[in-house]
């Protein structure tokens, strides 16, 4: 029974039942048109036969011709009416079918992405927990020298940070989706936030060098927590996708009365046809089997939401000579300093 139902759904594609109902409705409409046309012809034939019996063409030719003309005009009007009604019906059915098709397609895409997300998140949650557990058990069971112990502790902190970031992203994404998250706006020293954020990440990560070129004393009226998440998502992505020992460049500048924050890396970059899609919820390039880096597909979705809520925009372009460059533009905000 379940197999039959799945078959009726057409597997992962457009459900078979939808195509069947649409095709049936269109064919039924065409058949209805043919029947009406035949019926109209029959009526005309019957009326003409009746006319011959009622009026004599030879004795009353004018009356006969007049009546014949009326019958033919009535037929034309009838045909016009059901043809135009038929066309309107057909157009409505096709338009309705198109909207249903589009929403089914969206639904299928979203449910596939959600499935990917569940797989990725389950893995993402389990692997840091397993790593932390193993590290702590190793420290407890074995007498390790100071250096090894420190290494394991560093690794544990890194894993818990990953876990923390993932939980934040999941929570925020669901709150933003249901409009439950209200920005907590305050005057934020954006330059200090970036400098401190970059230093904190660099302290945890030895695989990449993070360079910061931050214009000093830039203030924003925004949500500190959100801005921290924005920086962390972009820099952590650069760490995740760019090869080890490469440089990540975080830059804050003011150009043409706008603030420009850019995060550049020397990784594989983003192909031109993926540059819009990577900001969609749960979207990840490639598929679950071929992907090496772990993730949830929420980081850039949230980043764009955060930037938009601060009145800015985010785009991605190629870095030179290679890599990705995420660029955020924000309106300049100045506060009165006493
Ligand atoms: P994820 O958790 O998968 O990293 P994101 O929303 O942060 O989710 O990113 C979406 C996708 O964009 C990623 O799966 C990755 O393929 C691509 N991507 C993001 N940042 C980079 C980057 N710096 N370099 C290359 N690809 C990236």
Confidence of residue 12 (pLDDT cuts 50, 70, 90): low
Give the pLDDT confidence score for residue 7 in this predicted structure. Answer: 47
Residues at CB less than 6 angstroms from ligand 1? 233, 237-238, 241, 265, 267-268, 270, 278, 283-285, 295-301, 324
Give the pLDDT confidence score for residue 337 in this predicted structure. Answer: 47
The ligand 1 atom at the shortest distance from the C-alpha of residue 298 is 6
Residue 171 placed within a domain? no
Confidence of residue 10 (pLDDT cuts 50, 70, 90): very low
| Residue at token pair 């300049």 | 332
Residue 86 placed within a domain? yes
More confidently predicted of 30 and 112? 30
Joined together, the tokens standing for residue 121 give 């998140």
Q: Is the domain of 209 the same as that of 299?
A: yes
Q: Is the domain of 227 the same as that of 330?
A: yes
- State the distance from the centre of ligand 1 to the C-alpha of 295, rounded, in angstroms: 8
More confidently predicted of 165 and 12? 165
Q: Is the domain of 56 the same as that of 190?
A: no
Q: Is the domain of 96 the same as that of 224?
A: no
Ligand 1 pocket test target in 123, 269, 278, 326 with most atoms within 8 Å of CB: 278
Q: Is the pLDDT of residue 2 over 70?
A: no
Q: Please identify, among 113, 135, 151, the residue that sits at the C-terminal boundary of a domain.
A: 113
In whole angstroms, give the CA distance from residue 283 to residue 296. Answer: 8
Protein residue with least CA distance to atom 7, ligand 1 = 299
In whole angstroms, give the CA distance from residue 110 to residue 281. Answer: 9
Q: Is the domain of 203 the same as that of 96?
A: no
Residue 33 placed within a domain? yes
Mean pLDDT for all residues in the chain: 87
More confidently predicted of 257 and 312? 312
Give the pLDDT confidence score for residue 227 in this predicted structure. Answer: 94
Residue 262 placed within a domain? yes
pLDDT tens string 214-251? 999 999 999 998 999 999 999 999 999 999 999 999 99
Confidence of residue 13 (pLDDT cuts 50, 70, 90): low
pLDDT tens string 289-302? 556 777 788 899 99
- State the distance from the centre of ligand 1 to the C-alpha of 142, rounded, in angstroms: 38
| Burial group, residue 235, by CB count within 10 angstroms (0-12, 13-18, 19+) | buried
Residue 308 placed within a domain? yes
Q: In the chain, how many domains are there?
A: 2
Give the pLDDT confidence score for residue 4 in this predicted structure. Answer: 47
- State the distance from the centre of ligand 1 to the C-alpha of 300, rounded, in angstroms: 7
Q: Is the pLDDT of residue 9 over 60?
A: no
Q: Is the domain of 72 the same as that of 199?
A: no
Q: What count of other Cβ atoms lies within 10 Å of the Cβ of residue 324?
A: 23
- pTM of this prediction? 0.66
Among the listed ranges 28-42, 119-133, 220-234, 267-281, which one has the minimum average pLDDT value? Answer: 119-133
- Choose among 288, 264, 261: nearest CA to 122: 288
Q: Please identify, among 75, 93, 113, the residue that sits at the C-terminal boundary of a domain.
A: 113
Widest CA span in the chain: 127
Share above pLDDT 70 across residues of the chain, in percent, rounded to a whole number: 92
Give the pLDDT confidence score for residue 209 in this predicted structure. Answer: 97
Q: Is the domain of 327 the same as that of 191?
A: yes
Residue 141 placed within a domain? no
Q: Is the pLDDT of residue 154 over 60?
A: yes
Are β-strands 258-264 and 324-331 bridged in parallel, bridged antiparallel, or unpaired? antiparallel
**Cα-based distances in Å from 136 to 122, 123, 132, 167, 321:** 21, 20, 6, 21, 42
Q: Which domain holds residue 299?
A: 186-335
Joined together, the tokens standing for residue 307 give 């930037």
Q: Is the domain of 87 the same as that of 221?
A: no
- State the distance from the centre of ligand 1 to the C-alpha of 112, rounded, in angstroms: 18
Q: Is the domain of 192 the same as that of 273?
A: yes
Confidence of residue 334 (pLDDT cuts 50, 70, 90): low
Long-range contact pairs involving 109-117 (C-beta distance under 8 Å, separation at least 24): 110/282, 112/12, 113/280, 113/281, 113/282, 113/283, 113/297, 114/282, 116/282, 116/284, 116/287, 116/288, 116/297, 117/282, 117/296, 117/297, 117/298
Residue 130 placed within a domain? no
Q: Please identify, among 70, 94, 113, the residue that sits at the C-terminal boundary of a domain.
A: 113
Task: Indicate which CATH number applies to the domain containing 264.
Answer: 3.30.565.10
Cα angle 64-69-46, degrees, rounded to a multiple of 5: 75
Cis peptide before 220 (omega within 30 of 0): no
pLDDT tens string 66-96? 999 999 999 999 889 988 999 999 999 999 9
Q: Is the pLDDT of residue 8 over 70?
A: no
Joined together, the tokens standing for residue 209 give 């060098």
Q: Is the domain of 107 the same as that of 215?
A: no
Q: Is the domain of 215 the same as that of 331?
A: yes
Q: Is the domain of 190 the same as that of 328?
A: yes
In whole angstroms, give the CA distance from residue 296 to residue 302. Answer: 11
Residue 165 placed within a domain? no
Average pLDDT over residues 137-161: 89
- Rounded to the nearest 10 degrees, what angle do helices 299-309 and 146-177 cross at? 60
pLDDT tens string 276-287? 999 998 888 886
Helix/strand/coil for 334:
coil
């Amino acid at each position: 029974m379940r197999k039959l139902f799945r078959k009726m759904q057409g597997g992962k594609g457009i459900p078979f039942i939808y195509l069947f109902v649409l095709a049936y409705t269109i064919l039924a409409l065409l058949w209805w048109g043919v029947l009406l046309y035949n019926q109209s012809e029959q009526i005309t034939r019957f009326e003409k036969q009746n006319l011959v019996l009622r009026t004599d063409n030879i004795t009353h030719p004018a009356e006969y011709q007049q009546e014949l003309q009326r019958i033919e005009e009535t037929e034309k009007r009838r045909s016009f009416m059901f043809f135009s009604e038929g066309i309107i019906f057909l157009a409505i059915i096709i338009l309705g079918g198109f909207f249903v098709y589009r929403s089914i397609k969206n639904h299928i895409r979203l449910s596939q992405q959600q499935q990917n997300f569940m797989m990725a998140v389950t893995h993402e949650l389990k692997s840091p927990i397993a790593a932390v557990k193993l590290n702590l058990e190793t420290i407890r069971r074995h007498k390790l020298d100071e250096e090894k112990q420190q290494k394991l502790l560093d690794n544990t902190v890194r894993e818990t940070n990953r876990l923390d970031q993932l939980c934040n992203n999941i929570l925020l994404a669901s709150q933003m989706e249901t409009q439950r998250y209200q920005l907590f706006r305050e005057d934020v020293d954006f330059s200090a936030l970036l400098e401190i954020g970059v230093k904190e990440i660099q302290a945890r990560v030895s695989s990449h060098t993070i360079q910061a070129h931050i214009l000093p004393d830039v203030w924003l009226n925004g949500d500190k927590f959100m801005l921290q998440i924005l920086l962390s998502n972009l820099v952590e992505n650069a760490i995740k996708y760019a090869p080890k020992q490469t440089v990540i460049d975080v830059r804050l500048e003011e150009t043409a009365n706008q603030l420009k924050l850019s995060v550049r890396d020397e990784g594989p970059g983003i192909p031109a046809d993926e540059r819009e899609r990577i900001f969609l919820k749960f979207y990840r390039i490639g598929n679950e089997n071929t992907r090496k880096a772990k993730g949830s597909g929420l980081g850039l979705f949230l980043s764009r939401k955060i930037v938009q809520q601060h009145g800015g925009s985010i785009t991605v372009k190629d870095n030179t000579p290679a890599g990705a460059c995420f660029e955020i533009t924000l309106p300049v905000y100045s506060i009165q300093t006493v």
